[in-house]
Amino acid sequence: MRSIPTLLSGLRLVMTPFIAQAIAASRFGEATGLLFIAGMTDFFDGFLARKYGWITKAGAIVDPIADKALLVSVYGALWWAGAIPGWLLALVWGRDLLILTMAGIALLFTTIRDFPPSIWGKISTDAQLVTAGTILGHRAGLVGGLAPVCEVLVWCAAAGTLFSGLHYFYKGVRRLRDLTPPSD
């Protein structure tokens, strides 16, 4: 039972290329449904892990990888399909590149081995998922009149992504500073 959250994260990771391919092929209805299922795996893996204490080392690795792979792929495909502006893609990819670079540096040059998510990172992930899902739903014609909502959500996702990136950078620098002994 403890492995259910990790299996859900793994399912999200496996679904990622299929979602991106559906978006790139302009099969927006299919992509919307698949992204909804992937979003539900994200919700339930976290819910089950916290509620029942089913937190594992594997899950702590697979979950953020699945989140990053999904969002980087979905936003790349949305840009490819002309559904989002390039600056938003650059912001989403840039934030994740910053986080991965900082984690890599920490792994190589420090004793830091844990990289806990922040509430701002979770908010950013949720904003990105809702934005992508709404844009896909709009493109699929599932609900009319979503163009203004999509525009607002693009800016909300951008703000959340930028703020969480800055927050992770601040936290990373602070952790590194705390490792450095004070000089006399």
Distance CA 165, CA 129 (A): 16
DSSP string covering 58-75: HHHHHHHHHHHHHHHHHH
Report, at the CATH architecture level, how domain 4-177 is classified. Up-down Bundle (1.20)
86 vs 117, higher pLDDT: 86
The pLDDT tens digits for 129-147 are 999 999 999 999 987 888 9
Q: Tell me: the pLDDT tens digits for 20-43? A: 999 999 999 999 999 999 999 999
Domain ranges of the chain: 4-177
pLDDT at position 184 over 90: no
Q: What pLDDT, on a 0 to 100 scale, did the predictor assign at position 179?
A: 81
CA 139 to chain centre: 21
Q: For 4-22, what is each residue's pLDDT tens digit?
A: 999 999 999 999 999 999 9
Is pLDDT at 183 greater than 90 in this prediction?
Answer: no
Give the closest residue to 101 by CA, choosing from 115, 81, 80.
Answer: 115
| Diameter over CA atoms, the chain | 65
pLDDT at position 182 over 80:
no
Report residue 96's pLDDT band, with 50, 70 and 90 as the boundaries. Answer: very high
pLDDT exceeds cutoff 80 at 167: yes
Global confidence as pTM: 0.91
Q: Check: CB of residue 154 under 8 Å from CB of residue 131.
A: yes
Place 113 in a pLDDT band, splitting at 50, 70 and 90. Answer: confident
Answer whether residue 74 shows pLDDT above 80.
yes
Checking if the pLDDT of 168 tops 90, the result is: yes
Query: Residue 64 above 70 pLDDT?
Result: yes
The structure tokens listed for 22 are 């559906």
Over 70: is that where the pLDDT of 177 sits?
A: yes
Least confident of 39-43, 48-52, 57-61: 57-61
Question: How many Å apart are CA 137 and CA 5, to the nearest integer?
Answer: 27
Q: Which one-letter amino acid corresponds to residue 148?
A: P
DSSP state at residue 85: -
Mean pLDDT of all residues in 162-183: 87
